[in-house]
Structure 1
Amino acid sequence: MEIEKYIPLWKKYLPVIRIQLKNSLQRNATLQLDKTEFEAAGDRDSAGYTFNLNIEKGEVTNKIRGTAVARDLHKVLIANSAINEFLKDKKVNINMGKDFILKLKASSM
């Protein structure tokens, strides 16, 4: 199992993710990520880097155990006090496809 390989990468993107999370309350928000950075951080060629992360009140509600990219993103999100506070009363969906575009959508519960 990959151990927190993507945490430094998610921390780098965290300031923009935080802004886009807030924006996603009004509209679907996206963030283009750098494919080469992910490939340098891990070796998921066969599995890819795609994931779907569903969070309700800060807790993951779908299975992400086999997806280190999503697990590490969730760890970074909840470790940030401002984002953790934002997530407390929200339902959030974050996903990334093969195009390395992070899509975020949040709604109040």
Structure 2
Amino acid sequence: MYTQIWTKYLPIIKILLKRSVNGDQVLDLNRIDFERVGSGRKAGYKFSIEFNKGRVANIISGLPLASDLALVMLEDANVKAILQQSDYVVSLNTKFQLTMKNVEPKEAVTEQA
């Protein structure tokens, strides 16, 4: 349902995932894109996806917005490669800000470099 929208944002998400090694990254999304596709309600657009070594680590099956984002990210070979290098949390808040956090301990990231 939301895969077309997430595919549009994927190139930016990829860049921000790479940059998240240095700190949290935030992407402001266009609320109207999502409200057109969804039920039009403003509430309910909030989720958090935990990626551990390239796999979704938490339950998001009841959230089509989150499920579609995870699907689009894992289907892209480059994004999947980034996700396999570290642990990430990708979350959306009610202001339509998508936040990407690299949750790998800093020591582990510097040792791999």
1:89 CA displacement: 2.5
1:71 CA displacement: 0.5
Number of residues of Structure 1 aligned to a counterpart in Structure 2: 105
Distance in 2 separating the partners of 1:6 and 1:72 = 6
Mapped contact 2:2–2:37 kept (Cα < 8 A): yes
* Structure (1 or 2) with the larger CA radius of gyration: 2
State the TM-score, normalized to the length of structure 1: 0.90
CA-based RMSD: 1.5
Detail structure 1 runs of 4+ shifted over 6 Å in the superposition. Answer: none
The unaligned stretches of length 5 or more in structure 2 are 109-113
- 1:16 partner SS: helix
- 2:90 partner SS: strand
Which residue pairs with 1:60 in the alignment? 56
State the TM-score, normalized to the length of structure 2: 0.86
1:62 CA displacement: 1.0
Q: Percent identity?
A: 32
Taking a change above 3 Å as real, the CA distance of residues 85 and 76 of structure 1, as seen in their structure-2 partners, is same
Distance in 2 separating the partners of 1:86 and 1:46 = 31
* Structure (1/2) with the larger helix percentage: 2
Which residue pairs with 1:40 in the alignment? 36
Question: For residues 25-81 of structure 1, what are the alpha-carbon distances to aligned partners after superposition, in whole Å with 9 as ceiling and x for unaligned?
Answer: 111100000111000111162761110110101111111011111100011001111
Mapped contact 2:35–2:42 kept (Cα < 8 A): no
Mapped contact 2:61–2:67 kept (Cα < 8 A): yes
Mapped contact 1:56–1:89 kept (Cα < 8 A): no
